[in-house]
Every structure is written in C-alpha cells, then in structure tokens.
C-alpha cells in the first residue's frame, strides 16, 4: 500500500525544525545546521554527497530507510531555495547542483507558477500553485505505487499532519537548542489526529522517533 512519509526530519531538544532568522546565508535559520550533524556522520548521506566512509549504525539505518521505496517528493518552497515572491528568472535550480539527490519527481509548493525543471539523474521539479493537498495528489500519481516522501519544512509537514495525510513520521531529536524558529508540533494535537509513538532509538548523535497514524 502506498504511504506518505516524513523521514529524517531533525528537530532540536526545544522542538524547533529550523532556527530563527532564516535567510539566503542561513537557509536553516541561525544554528539550524547543527540539527543535521547526525545525518552527516552516516554512510548514506556521505555517499549522497560523493564522500567515502561514514558510520553504519542506527543513524545510518534511519537515513537509508528514508530513501527506500520513495517514488516522489513534496517540498515546501523554502526547502527548494531562498527565492521569495515571484521567480525573477529560471536561474535558481535548487540547493543541490546539477544532480539533486532525489532521482524522481519532486513537487515544490509555491504561489508562483514556473515550468517543470528537468535535472540530471532523473529528478524533475514540478511547481504546484494550488496547495499541499493538490501537490500530494500529483505526487501520489507520479510515484507509480511507491511511497511519497514529504521533505518539509515545518509548515508543509504541519499541513500534512492536520489534514491527516501523513502515515508515518521519522524525526531525529538532535542534542542542540535553537531557542526560537518554527516548532514542528506547534498547534498540532497528534493524539487527536490519531498518531502514536511506534519506536524510539537513541544514539550518541540523535534520538530517532517514529510516529505512526493508527489504522
């Protein structure tokens, strides 16, 4: 059965999925990079960026499973780039260079239309102007039976949770404080929405928590 999954989404001990004062220089907000330290210890992420080595324990197991059986992605606009408002031209092609690590269709939420963008390695960015639910519907078709991964950010995930459209959510609690920014679970009542904590695994780098929507 096709599922909708959030994977490897990092939050701070104080609950923030991005730091305060996001800008082109600090796309994850001030201090936000430290959220992802666990991921960059793993073999999975190092390989993705052309590096050798990396650890192969529980952190890597969670990083790797995040890419398994994924046929399409949904991303919020800020995950794709720092451009706000209408696209000034088509020069911005994402944070990831010519060969993004998706290798499948990626549906980017935006208020401003733009033609699809085909990258090397099988990634095609589609720009969706009619909201999360519409983007998810298109992603489900494009995934051809595989799962859809919702990449983030916080606002995009919250839309999915509130609509009851996310089946499973893996978060990594990193041993950092951010003090401010976007809180992942602000205004979201996970119990009323039917989620339960299915798994919690701690490593020296992060605590991995799997939340699952009860059938």
Distance (Å, rounded) from C-alpha 181 to C-alpha 35? 13
Distance (Å, rounded) from C-alpha 78 to C-alpha 203? 29
Q: Is residue 18 close enough to count as binding a copy of itself by CB under 8 A?
A: no
Q: Is residue 192 close enough to count as binding a copy of itself by CB under 8 A?
A: yes
Distance (Å, rounded) from C-alpha 105 to C-alpha 140? 10
Q: Is residue 21 close enough to count as binding a copy of itself by CB under 8 A?
A: no
Closest to a copy of itself by CB, 101 vs 179, is 179
Q: Is residue 83 close enough to count as binding a copy of itself by CB under 8 A?
A: no
- Alpha helix (H) ranges present in 75-183? 77-80, 132-142, 154-162
Q: Is residue 163 close enough to count as binding a copy of itself by CB under 8 A?
A: no
Q: Is residue 197 close enough to count as binding a copy of itself by CB under 8 A?
A: yes
Closest to a copy of itself by CB, 83 vs 201, is 201
Distance (Å, rounded) from C-alpha 42 to C-alpha 210? 19
Only one residue has tokens 């890597």, namely 60
Least Cα distance to 49 among 61, 34, 36, 68 occurs for 36
Q: How many residues bind a copy of itself (CB under 8 A)?
A: 32
Q: Is residue 80 close enough to count as binding a copy of itself by CB under 8 A?
A: no
* Out of 14, 21, 120, 130, the residue judged to bind a copy of itself by CB under 8 A: 14
Neighbours of 123 (CB within 10 A): 21
DSSP state of 183: E
Q: Is residue 196 close enough to count as binding a copy of itself by CB under 8 A?
A: yes
CB of 42 to a copy of itself, least distance (A): 16
Closest to a copy of itself by CB, 142 vs 182, is 182
Only one residue has tokens 């095609």, namely 124
Least Cα distance to 168 among 215, 106, 107, 210 occurs for 210
CB of 136 to a copy of itself, least distance (A): 23
Binding residues (CB under 8 A) for a copy of itself: these are 13-15, 31, 171, 173, 175-180, 183, 185, 188-193, 195-197, 199-204, 207, 209, 211
């Amino acid at each position: 059965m096709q599922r909708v999954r959030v994977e490897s989404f990092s939050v701070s001990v104080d609950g923030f999925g991005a730091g305060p004062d996001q800008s082109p220089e600090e796309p994850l907000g001030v201090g936000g990079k430290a959220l992802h330290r666990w991921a960059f210890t793993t073999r999975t992420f190092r390989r993705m960026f052309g590096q050798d080595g990396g650890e192969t324990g529980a952190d890597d197991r969670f990083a790797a499973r995040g890419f398994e059986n994924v046929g399409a992605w949904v991303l919020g606009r800020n995950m794709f780039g720092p451009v706000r408002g209408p696209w000034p031209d088509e020069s911005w092609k994402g944070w990831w260079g010519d060969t993004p690590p998706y290798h499948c269709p990626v549906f980017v939420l935006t208020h401003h239309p733009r033609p699809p963008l085909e990258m090397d390695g099988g990634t095609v960015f589609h720009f969706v102007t009619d909201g999360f639910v519409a983007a998810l519907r298109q992603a489900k078709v494009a995934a051809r039976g595989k799962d859809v991964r919702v990449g983030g950010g916080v606002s995009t995930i919250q839309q999915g949770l509130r609509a009851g459209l996310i089946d499973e959510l893996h978060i990594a609690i990193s041993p950092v404080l951010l003090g401010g920014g976007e809180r992942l679970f602000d205004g979201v009542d996970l119990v009323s929405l039917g989620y339960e904590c299915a798994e919690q695994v701690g490593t020296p780098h992060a605590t991995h928590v799997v939340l699952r929507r009860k059938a």
